[in-house]
């Protein structure tokens, strides 16, 4: 399933067909989402028009669960099934820094990762879910999502022993805006954007690897067509990256994945990219007739070759 175009471009129009609205998102039974910040310690808070809401979008079953107006970021830990590889992945759903596709680009990803022996940490990062507060968006337009990502990487490493995780095998995976967040946390890890609040903020927030699927926002803040967003300052310290996008994606791959790939290569960062002819935007893990839906198997092979899931 591909996100409806009205949904994929809700960041532009602020309009989307919604139904089955419920108060707030909850994970499946047996899992608990917990706030990533202590009470009263959330940095750079922004006003949100109303409480968090969960909505179902799309006319074709199973549709997609979209969460908006997120002001209290949370993480939900999904433990691996069967043999534990020791690896962990923090997942960033997409949604244009506007909303979050919590199943299509979240829980369904965790089901796949845990089936491969990988701990999955699903991050519900801050997004406004409305058009009243334009300060939200990618860093530096808004620091909120990147702050939440930095905080969560620290929390995962702080709890590494408790969760049976190797702190040297903690990566990130994201879709669309979440793919941009993968690139952002892959460069902004030397210093937190916020004042440390506890021991988690003394842990490294550098991911050991990253997977960016149909990322956006890579050509912003520059007037040159082939220059990467200067607020994604790739260096040799950027971790190994894996990139997937389709040529027919309305989020132009030339101005996003290819620009990012070229910057990584110039910096000497190990990177693998797969560019498919068809697939559109917002396909997640859901199967279709397009070869692009085989990307999870490619990621599995890559994780083994870079030593994350190998013995």
Average pLDDT over residues 21-32: 84
Structural domain includes residue 158: yes
The pLDDT of residue 7:
38
Residue 20 has pLDDT above 60, yes or no: no
The pLDDT of residue 173:
99
What are 188-238's pLDDT values in tens digits? 999 999 999 999 999 999 999 999 999 999 998 887 778 999 999 999 999
Residue 9 has pLDDT above 50, yes or no: no
Among the listed ranges 28-32, 114-118, 255-259, which one has the minimum average pLDDT value? Answer: 28-32
Structural domain includes residue 311: no
Sole residue written with tokens 């290819």: 258
Torsional class of 176: left (φ above 0), alpha (ψ -120 to 50), beta (otherwise) = left
Residue 10 has pLDDT above 70, yes or no: no
Residue 276: its H or E element = strand 271-276
Strands 99-101 and 64-68: antiparallel
Q: Which residue range(s) make up the domain with 55?
A: 5-305
Q: What value does the mean pLDDT of the chain take?
A: 90
Name which of 154, 181, 192, 183 is nearest 170 in CA terms. 154
Structural domain includes residue 165: yes
Q: What is the CATH number of the domain that holds 171?
A: 3.40.50.1820
Residue 134 has pLDDT above 90, yes or no: no
DSSP 226: T
Question: Could you tell me which residue, 229 or 18, shows the higher pLDDT?
Answer: 229
Beta bridge partners, 55, equal 66
User: What's the pLDDT band for 61 if we cut at 50, 70, 90?
Assistant: low
The answer to whether 176 and 281 have CB atoms below 8 angstroms apart is yes
Average pLDDT over residues 26-44: 94
What are 85-105's pLDDT values in tens digits? 999 999 999 999 999 999 999
Structural domain includes residue 310: no
Say whether 195 sits in a helix, a strand or coil: coil
Residue 39 has pLDDT above 60, yes or no: yes
Helical pair 177-185 and 144-158, crossing angle rounded to 10 deg: 60
What are 270-291's pLDDT values in tens digits? 999 999 999 999 999 999 999 9
∠ CA 221-223-226, nearest 5°, is: 100
Structural domain includes residue 274: yes
User: What's the pLDDT band for 58 if we cut at 50, 70, 90?
Assistant: confident
Residue 131 has pLDDT above 90, yes or no: no
Give the number of domains in the chain. Answer: 1
**pTM metric for this prediction:** 0.92
Structural domain includes residue 74: yes
DSSP 285: T
Residue 3 has pLDDT above 70, yes or no: no
What are 155-177's pLDDT values in tens digits? 999 999 999 999 999 999 999 99
User: What's the pLDDT band for 264 if we cut at 50, 70, 90?
Assistant: very high
Say whether 245 sits in a helix, a strand or coil: strand
C-alpha dihedral, 231 to 145 to 108 to 52, nearest 10°: -150
Helix, strand, coil percentages (3-state) for the chain, rounded to 5, are 25, 20, 55
User: What's the pLDDT band for 135 if we cut at 50, 70, 90?
Assistant: low
- CA 135 from chain centre, in angstroms, equals 20
The pLDDT of residue 88:
98
Q: What whole-number percentage of the chain has pLDDT above 90? A: 81
């Amino acid at each position: 399933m591909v996100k409806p175009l009205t949904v994929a471009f809700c960041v532009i129009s602020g309009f989307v067909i919604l139904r089955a609205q419920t108060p707030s998102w909850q994970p499946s039974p047996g899992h608990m989402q917990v706030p990533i910040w202590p009470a009263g310690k959330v940095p750079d808070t922004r006003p949100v028009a109303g409480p968090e809401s969960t909505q179902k979008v799309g006319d074709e079953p199973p549709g997609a669960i979209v969460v908006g107006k997120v002001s209290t970021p949370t993480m939900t830990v999904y433990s691996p099934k069967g043999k534990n590889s020791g690896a962990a992945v923090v997942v960033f759903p997409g949604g244009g820094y506007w909303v979050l596709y919590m199943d299509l680009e979240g829980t369904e990803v965790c089901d796949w990762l845990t089936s491969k022996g990988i701990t999955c940490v699903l991050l519900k990062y801050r997004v406004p879910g409305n058009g009243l507060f334009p300060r939200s968006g990618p860093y530096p337009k808004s620091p909120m999502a990147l702050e939440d990502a930095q905080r969560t990487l620290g929390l995962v490493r702080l709890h590494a022993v408790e969760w049976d995780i190797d702190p040297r095998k903690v990566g990130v995976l994201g879709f669309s805006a979440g793919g941009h967040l993968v690139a952002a946390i892959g460069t902004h890890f030397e210093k937190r954007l916020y004042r440390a609040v506890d021991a988690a903020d003394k842990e490294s927030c550098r991911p050991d690897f990253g997977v960016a699927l149909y990322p956006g926002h890579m050509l912003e803040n520059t007037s040159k067509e082939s220059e990467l967003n200067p607020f994604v300052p790739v260096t040799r310290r950027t971790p190994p990256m894996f990139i997937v996008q389709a040529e027919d994606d309305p989020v132009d791959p030339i101005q996003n994945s290819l620009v990012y790939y070229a910057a990584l290569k110039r910096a000497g960062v190990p990177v693998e990219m797969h560019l498919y002819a068809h697939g559109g935007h917002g396909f997640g893990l859901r199967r279709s007739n397009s070869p692009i839906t085989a990307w999870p198997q490619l990621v599995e092979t890559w994780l083994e070759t870079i030593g994350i899931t190998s013995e």
